[in-house]
Chains A and B, each alone.
Chain A
Amino acid sequence: MTRGRRVPATLLVPAAVAAAFLLIPLLGLVVRAPWRQVGTQLQEHDVLTALRLSLECASIATALSLLVGVPLAWVLARVEFPGRGVLRALVTLPLVLPPVVGGVALFLGFGRNGLLGGALADIGVSLPFTTAGVVVAEAFVAMPFLVVAVEGSLLAMDARYDEAAATLGASRWFTFRTVTLPLLVPGIAAGGVLCWARALGEFGATITFAGNFPGTTQTMPLKVYLALQDKPDAAFVLSLLMLVVSITILLALRGRWLARWT
């Protein structure tokens, strides 16, 4: 740490520019938003519905991502198999894919005429234009964040703990549950928060695949986008609301997860 010693200007100046670049728009939102209208906007039925829908869908999408994403990260990090590099590249593709393209791909995979469309219809599941569709769209764009974070944690972890457990006679599943997983919690927490935040803010894939209808599929980002058209003040208030909610959750999670392990 360079605390106490002079910070090199070569790093300080670009760092200050980066910080200013990221903070000025947030500051603008806080300073220019019509604070007096927050109360009236909150009372509008659609706003609370959209907020509740956003939080619920992001949470469910994160839970699903944790359920299947952590095992995927473990397989990618610990299991050697042919084509592992290709699989890793493919499952992290939604990270770089434009969200709208993701939405189109979801149609072609899970839509009515998609690859799994017939099979899904047979069991009575229809994803487009439903809340489940929102969860699927959000999980599609956000799960890779979790997979990448957890895989990174696994690769950085000392595998000797797992080996020690194995030499002491523990089964792989027992080792995973009692040795690997506890050590992995900070990585999973960090990945989970990233995943949740990404899911909360998803717009392109949601509006393309799930559509937009108040109460069913209209999440906060969609509501802000539509409000900007005819009621900019409402859009500013909604954006402020999203900012406050996001900061609150991020701060709360940080305190809970990282305090125990650092």
Chain B
Amino acid sequence: MNHRPRTAAAAVAPMTFLAVLAGCSGSGGRTVVVDAAASLTPTFTALARQFQRAHPGVHIRLNFGGSDTLAAQITQGAPVDVFAAASTSTMQTVVHAHAASGSPQVFVRNQPELAVPPSNPAHINSLADSARAGVKLVLCAPTAPCGAAAQTVYRLARLTPHPVSEEPDVTSVLSKVELGEADVGMVYVTDVQAAGAEVKAVPIANADQTITSYPIVVTKQAADPADATAFVRYVRSAAGLRLLRGAGFLPP
């Protein structure tokens, strides 16, 4: 029996396995990985498209989620080049972990708003209505910026909310309202605008007291700092701001 081919064959399987794993992570060309808060999904998708058109050869890869989840991933070394958070406190996590290159700059602001299904089955017309017993209120988890903002809104209004669920990010809250499963959800003005006819807005009185700031920064682990900085500069430019304001964001 010839043992050499058999040993060679034995090595093939693990080698192929590792090669496939390695191949999955590499990519040619200039790529900028951008982690952005869930509430920035439609706007950053559009901004990335415009940036790529103006800068051929650079590819923007977007990753949306709860800012606290994204911050945790970045501090644990995720290969992210740009981070756009929905609150200064989640950005502070990244700064404290020395993962930020330079100081974060606030590029837009946002305001909380209540969203209800178009038929408004629970007849929610004010913040107080949303805190009624028996209402299926869905909020973000307190660790996410939209959850922290929601807690502040209710605290300032001296109301105690009784949520039936605390979602990891604002998109999950919005989808529960769109599906008609939740009677009301606390999201941002921009989310309600982006959802169009899928939800109805219920403005919150004195919401201007709970305006949240969105900072953006290039990370220290950025593989391509030049392109990453160029993208951040584009987001903060007049063209970028015009697109963001069109979506309902407030200027910085």
Is the pair A111, B141 in contact by a Cβ cutoff of 8 Å?
no
Is the pair A207, B180 in contact by a Cβ cutoff of 8 Å?
no
Is the pair B10, A14 in contact by a Cβ cutoff of 8 Å?
yes
Task: Answer yes or no: A167 CB below 8 A from chain B CBs.
Answer: no
Instruction: Choose one: B6, B13, B66; the contact of A229 (CB below 8 Å).
Output: B66
Chain B interface residue count: which class? 20 to 34
Chain B residue nearest to A127 in the complex (CB): B181
Task: Answer yes or no: B41 CB below 8 A from chain A CBs.
Answer: no
Is the pair A212, B165 in contact by a Cβ cutoff of 8 Å?
yes
Is the pair A207, B168 in contact by a Cβ cutoff of 8 Å?
yes
Name the interface residues of B133-180: CB closer than 8 Å to any CB of A.
136, 138, 141, 143-144, 163-168, 172, 176, 179-180
Is the pair A212, B13 in contact by a Cβ cutoff of 8 Å?
no
Task: Answer yes or no: B68 CB below 8 A from chain A CBs.
Answer: yes
CB distance from B163 to the nearest CB of A (A): 7
Instruction: Choose one: A14, A107, A212; the contact of B166 (CB below 8 Å).
Output: A212
Task: Answer yes or no: A75 CB below 8 A from chain B CBs.
Answer: no
Name the interface residues of A205-233: CB closer than 8 Å to any CB of B.
207-208, 210-213, 216-217, 225-226, 228-230, 232
Chain A residue nearest to B9 in the complex (CB): A10
Chain B residue nearest to A17 in the complex (CB): B14
Cα distance A208–B136 when bound, in Å?
15
Is the pair A129, B164 in contact by a Cβ cutoff of 8 Å?
yes
* Residues of chain B within 8 A of A230, CB atoms compared: 68, 72, 93, 143
The CB with the most chain B CB atoms within 10 A, among A14, A111, A217, A229, is that of: A229
Contact residues of A: prevailing secondary structure = helix
* Residues of chain B within 8 A of A10, CB atoms compared: 6, 9-10
Is the pair B13, A213 in contact by a Cβ cutoff of 8 Å?
no
Cα distance A226–B65 when bound, in Å?
13
Instruction: Choose one: B13, B68, B69, B136; the contact of A17 (CB below 8 Å).
Output: B13
Is the pair A112, B13 in contact by a Cβ cutoff of 8 Å?
no
Is the pair A113, B181 in contact by a Cβ cutoff of 8 Å?
yes
Is the pair B10, A128 in contact by a Cβ cutoff of 8 Å?
no
Instruction: Choose one: B7, B9, B136, B143; the contact of A129 (CB below 8 Å).
Output: B136
Is the pair B7, A212 in contact by a Cβ cutoff of 8 Å?
no
Is the pair A229, B69 in contact by a Cβ cutoff of 8 Å?
yes
Is the pair B167, A212 in contact by a Cβ cutoff of 8 Å?
yes
* Residues of chain A within 8 A of B144, CB atoms compared: 229
Is the pair B14, A13 in contact by a Cβ cutoff of 8 Å?
yes
* Residues of chain A within 8 A of B163, CB atoms compared: 213
CB distance from B63 to the nearest CB of A (A): 16
Is the pair B179, A129 in contact by a Cβ cutoff of 8 Å?
no
Is the pair B179, A113 in contact by a Cβ cutoff of 8 Å?
yes
If A226-B168, A230-B68 touch, whether A211 touches B176 (CB-CB below 8 Å) is yes
* Residues of chain A within 8 A of B17, CB atoms compared: 17
Cα distance A3–B144 when bound, in Å?
56
Would you give 6 A-B contacts (Cβ < 8 Å), ordered by A? A13-B13, A17-B17, A228-B72, A229-B71, A229-B141, A230-B68
The 4 closest A-B CB pairs, nearest first, are A211-B165, A129-B164, A14-B13, A229-B68
Task: Report B's interface with A, CB cutoff 8 A.
Answer: 6-7, 9-11, 13-14, 17, 66, 68-69, 71-72, 76, 93, 136, 138, 141, 143-144, 163-168, 172, 176, 179-181
